Amino acid sequence: MAPFFNAIFTNMKIKIAVLPGDGIGPEITRQAIKVIDAVSKKTGHVPEYREAPVGAAAIDETGNPYPEQTHNICMESDAVLFGAIGDPRFDNDPGAKVRPEKGLLEMRKKLGLFANIRPVMTFVPLLHKSPLREEIIEGADFIVVRELTGGIYFGKPQGRSEDGNTAYDTCVYQKYEIERICRLAFGFAMKRRKKLTLVDKANVLATSRLWRETMQALALSYPGVEVEYMFVDNAAMQIIQWPKRFDVIVTENMFGDILTDEASVITGSLGMLPSASIGLHTSVFEPIHGSYPQAAGKNIANPVATVLSAAMMFEQAFDCEEGGRLIRSAVDASLESGVVTGDIDDSDPASTSEVGDWLASWIENI
């Protein structure tokens, strides 16, 4: 077989912080590392891994869901490969003083990760797995650019009254936060189909009106991009009814969180979608799914979302388009060959590690 491409770099060192986290996190990150190693041999990269705890695993070890040592390792790395955060022990304890998810928020804040990039695409062999009709989803391909460090998740004040009968969260946005995420979204739109949708709730929320005003001013600098404005409830409906009409969506933190989980059903499995969180310091690459504690240690979880996150890592952190293309081709080949986990095909499922081994072997032998 002819070589897939010729390596143009030689011994290019890349430092990767590995944060496996909780639940299936350790299993899926192991498979991504297999693939990263295989790709690196083709591209001339030399990966150096440093593992660090985060989430419930870090609480058990240090009492802190995002320890300072973990943060330092992230800051000293070129990219972060992240697994998942979450543990039922904390989910079922409303009075817990510290939660694993706090570690994720702290990581985003300390690393300045103001943008989460979530591509939503379909895979032809999986069209039948989606709860939506094939003619609705076939060819759907859009990106959600979600603001990640502002909004109701971080706004102050936040808490409960002394009598416990009242709780409050505050949604806060500053204009500069909106401008930087919208400029990033315009950049993606310029490289794609030149259509950008701002999702907000400007008929009700003051913060959304600031988003809309800011976007309208910025749009004057991007005359080649078609900009539309859509309320979040309408967007939630249209993503399901007409997903192919979208190209790039930009939105605030909580709306983006909800809409991207909704959009994941288009693909047919939550285990297929990657993401990248980028900003001021080291970028983080992670699957969009959670820790799936019911599957932890059973070698049944789908590692593809994490593997595709590694593809985004090569493209965005290491400026290696060929590495990303090679990983995507390997995933396509595995789907066509039926080497998939039970969430894709439960008739003869491969294990988590078998999928990782197959992907790495395909890359090594291409």
Catalytic residues: 153, 201, 233, 257, 261
Spell out the residues 6+ positions from residue 194 whose beta carbon is closer than 8 angstroms to its own. 224, 225, 226, 247
Residue in the structure block whose two tokens are 């076939």: 138
Q: How far apart are CA 249 and CA 192, in angstroms?
A: 12
Task: Pick the closest to residue 295 from 19, 81, 25 (CA basis).
Answer: 25
Alpha-carbon torsion 253, 255, 258, 260, what sign?
Answer: negative
Strand partners, 117: 145, 276
Polymer length of the chain: 366
Report residue 65 CA to chain centroid gap: 20
SS3 50: strand
Q: How far apart are CA 45 and CA 39, in angstroms?
A: 8
Spell out the residues 6+ positions from residue 362 whose beta carbon is closer than 8 angstroms to its own. 330, 333, 334
Q: How far apart are CA 205 and CA 199, in angstroms?
A: 12
Three-state DSSP string of 274-321: EEEEECCCCCEEEECCCCCHHHCCCCCCCCHHHHHHHHHHHHHCCCCH
Are the CB atoms for 35 and 96 separated by under 8 Å?
no
